A = this chain, B = another copy of it.
Amino acid sequence: MNTQETQLIPAKNEADVDQTLQPETQSLKSHSLAFVTDEATGIRVPVTEIALEPSPNGAPNGPFRTYRTAGPGSDPVVGLNPFRSEWIAARGDTEPYSGRERNLLDDGKSAVRRGAASAEWKGAQPVPRRAVGGRTVTQMHYARQGVITPEMQFIALRENCDVELVRSEVAAGRAIIPNNINHPESEPMIIGKAFLVKINANIGNSAVTSSIAEEVDKLQWATQWGADTVMDLSTGDDIHTTREWLIRNSPVPIGTVPIYQALEKVNGEANALTWEIYRDTVIEQCEQGVDYMTIHAGVLLRYVPLTANRVTGIVSRGGAIMAGWCLAHHQENFLYTHFDELCGIFAKYDVAFSLGDGLRPGATADANDAAQFAELDTLAELTQRAWEFDVQVMVEGPGHVPFHLVRENVERQQELCKGAPFYTLGPLVTDIAPGYDHITSAIGATEIARYGTAMLCYVTPKEHLGLPNKDDVKTGVITYKIAAHAADLAKGHPGAHERDDALSKARFEFRWRDQFALSLDPVTAEAFHDETLPAEPAKTAHFCSMCGPKFCSMKISQDIRDEYGSADSQAAIAEAYSGMREKSAEFLAAGGKVYLPELRIPAGN
């Protein structure tokens, strides 16, 4: 496959029109679903196409195509098309099987009382698959064998890169493709520092709030705005069934923290947890199609006392559960002692590890301390062990870290973990702004991604205060798209600047609708504009509310361009300018009297 052969097919028929986006505004109506197709393989990758108006001089613009995480869209009760099924079956190394027997407790105690989950999954019942015999069916395994999978080809089209880059980064462990063979609905995507920085959105119900339908809605909402993966952190009722609805409707990888569900199964008593209950929960989730799981295997008994004099102790729920268990039993963390067994399970389904940082700092005062870095040493050790099984791994990172200490986190992780993708929560660079922690953390997230973090877990404005609603999810996603994109720009990622340049050009040319349409959130951009100048003609007017109709800096700039923008003019300017600094020095030396240089601009304007 060669990206040069890419055939660009614009959206043509009604079915291709984007249904998941809500066209509340004119600017969003210019977004549509299109496909990039590789002729050689027939693989089609959905992209968002943004129609643009011509420039004032009549020159056409765009359409602009951009990476799309919303997939083709789905009806929640039907789910998405399991389009990867044939790729998986064609490899001939997996088989369908009856699967683990479902238990009422999988949905939590309320379901046991009720006798069922509150809203059973209505779509087709998938039959779980697993590797045949002792086979390993991970993308890392294929990559290390030199095999190029359709998943890798899909990603190369999506990232607009060579497929060999995808294969080699996965083989080396520097990137992962989280796609469980039991989640054939998902569109392959890659997490690794050689690729676009990705973002994750957390959703999930809790003891306090929300229905299954709300969570599916949040999933679709999050991916519409750009979430690259979604973690289901449900802890309340209907855990198993909520996850089923989410996975069947998710075009992006789904991550979980299995200890949350395991804890529900033992009535919330951390001390009552056992490896057997945990393992059973992991297998349940492997069969459902969870793509990556946060495993807090680095919280070792001997590290727990290191947190005693912290300002905020242990703030990770999973970390605290395992620390509590270790202390109660005075035994080593069973996730650490059974880690090889977990690797064996993950290898059969292609589930990726997200090695949890259970001892991450919960306050800037606790950043980069002995507890945090001791755990990181262990996560590095576990990364190596997983790789011996050809199991994909990413490593989780903090948390709360003052700005000047952020860089050390990613550089240390990259060195110790031999380039395994880093996946961080922010970090928040100050503790004093609850209600604005999407911002305090986006600052740290940009810094940490600039130096190599591959995926950023979003933080919403509700962090520390409550559970995010739909508005918070959107704010968190957009804020993290900003951080991820700012890091892509800073890294000089190929093509990253194209959207900035297209939007800036639209701004300069007063193509207001294009400026909205090219923005991360066209709805908000248009609404803010309309607050001051709501009339429809203002969107084509060659001025804005900042300066008003009389005076316009953009107009003066256009005049300058008309006068000096030609190649000849610019050559003359460059020549004149080259001597300017010397003249400036002479001028100062001569006592600072004003002079006007003889700058000759070519005639003919």
Chain A residues near B (Cβ < 8 Å): 206-209, 235, 263, 268, 270, 301-302, 304-317, 319-321, 323-324, 327, 331-332, 336-337, 362-365, 370, 374, 377-378, 381, 384-385, 400, 402-404, 429-436, 438-440, 442-443, 446-447, 450, 461-462, 464-467, 469, 478-479, 481-483, 485-487, 489-492, 497, 499-501, 503-505, 507-508, 515-516, 518-521, 524-525, 527-529, 531-533, 544-554, 556-561, 563-565, 569-570, 573, 576-577, 580-581, 584, 588, 592, 594, 596-597, 599, 601
Contact = CB atoms under 8 A, between A and B. Distances in A.
Given A402-B489, A443-B482, 5 more contacts: A207-B550, A314-B557, A362-B507, A404-B450, A467-B546
A364 B500 CA distance: 7
Nearest to A305: B564
B430 A311 contact: no
Given A363-B500, A548-B207, A313 B558 contact: yes
9 contacts: A209-B545, A320-B552, A320-B553, A323-B556, A327-B563, A400-B504, A430-B482, A464-B515, A466-B532
- Closest 9 A/B residue pairs (Cβ): A313-B557, A320-B553, A466-B532, A363-B504, A308-B564, A435-B524, A403-B490, A305-B564, A404-B490
A313 B432 contact: no
Contacts of A544: 464, 466
Nearest to A567: B309
Contacts of A532: 208-209, 462, 465-467
Contact of A528 (B450, B465, B500): B465
B436 A561 contact: no
Contact of A430 (B466, B489, B551): B489
Given A309-B570, A486-B402, A597 B434 contact: no
Contacts of A385: 592
A520 B432 CA distance: 6
A436 B482 contact: yes
Contact of A431 (B436, B503, B553): B503
Contact of A440 (B400, B486, B570): B486
B305 A601 contact: yes
Contact of A308 (B310, B467, B560): B560
Contacts of A317: 546-547, 551, 553
A446 B466 contact: no
B545 A206 contact: yes
A443 B440 CA distance: 9
Contact of A312 (B467, B529, B557): B557
Nearest to A370: B577
Given A308-B570, A370-B577, A559 B327 contact: yes
A461 B528 contact: yes
A573 B374 CA distance: 13
B577 A311 contact: no
Contacts of A505: 311-312
Contact of A508 (B312, B370, B478, B573): B312
Given A436-B524, A439-B442, A525-B435, A312 B402 contact: no
A355 B141 CA distance: 60
Contact of A466 (B381, B436, B531, B550): B531
Contacts of A316: 553
B596 A332 contact: yes
A521 B436 contact: yes
A320 B546 CA distance: 14
Given A439-B479, A465-B529, A208 B432 contact: no
A533 B462 CA distance: 12
A320 B486 CA distance: 28
Contacts of A577: 302, 306, 370, 374
B429 A490 contact: yes
A507 B312 contact: yes
Nearest to A492: B404
Nearest to A483: B443
Contacts of A553: 313-317, 319-321
Contacts of A519: 432-435
A505 B492 CA distance: 40
